[in-house]
Amino acid sequence: MANKTPTPHIGAKYGEIAETMIMAGDPLRAQFMAEKYLTDIVQFNNVRGMLGYTGYYKGTRVSTMGHGMGMPSIGLYTYELFNFYDVKTIIRVGSAGSFHPDLHVGDLLIAQAACTDSNYGAQFELPGTFAPIADFDLTRRAADTCDRLGYHYKVGNVLSSDLFYDDHPENEKWIKMGVLGVEMEAAALYMNAARAGKKALTICTISDHLLTGELSTSEERQKTFTHMMDVALSLI
């Protein structure tokens, strides 16, 4: 395993990344988490500007890193982390658009499972349709933390879409099936975790509402969506 690192996309040597990794699409959010929450931080990656750091949270070693946008990007990074760096758990903290009338900007969405319009799963050549799901223990403990801290949240199904700008959006069809919101990465993360025999969870902050038109700014998404970070760090 060690002779495969550094990888083409991660400059760290084997052992420089913790067994638990918290990832964000925006590498500046990963930097923000490291600087705000961790002690004794060391930067292990800057390849293609995808910042990564390892430090300690209340005495426990943990890493943070960006994963970029979309399933091809998170699929690439999490594959290398799971398979070449022996990362055991990846928790994604990201943003999502709400489909639910009671999930507003700033609320949390814990992705128990992820539907997708992507062809990412075709590589596994399964004789049917795979259902990408989160680790149950992480999901349960994340919900318990939200209850304890008084954070407004929902647990359920998300849509991991390949499209941010969809020429023919059909959100109402996903809403009819009880899907709570849309993001762009959870399904690939969950499939990679399943294939590698590892653990994964996605915790999203609602950044906009596709029914009411509520919106947040890019600065708010980068620096004020901290409740999901509190929840993620409680799981390490």
* Fold adopted by 2-233: Rossmann fold (3.40.50)
List pLDDT tens digits, range 139-185: 999 999 999 999 999 999 999 999 999 999 889 999 999 999 999 99
Tokens of 74: 């998170």
Q: What is the DSSP letter of 106?
A: T
Which residues lie across from 109 on neighbouring strands? 154, 204
Other beta carbons less than 10 A from residue 3's beta carbon: 6
| Residue among 121, 111, 120, 115 nearest 90 (CA) | 111
**Which positions are catalytic?**
208
Domain-wise residue ranges, the chain: 2-233
**Residue-wise pLDDT tens for the chain (236 aa)?**
445 899 999 999 999 999 999 999 999 999 999 999 999 999 999 999 999 999 999 999 999 999 999 999 999 999 999 999 999 999 999 999 999 999 999 999 999 999 999 999 999 999 999 999 999 999 999 999 999 999 999 999 999 999 999 999 889 999 999 999 999 999 999 999 999 999 999 999 999 998 888 877 777 666 668 999 999 999 99
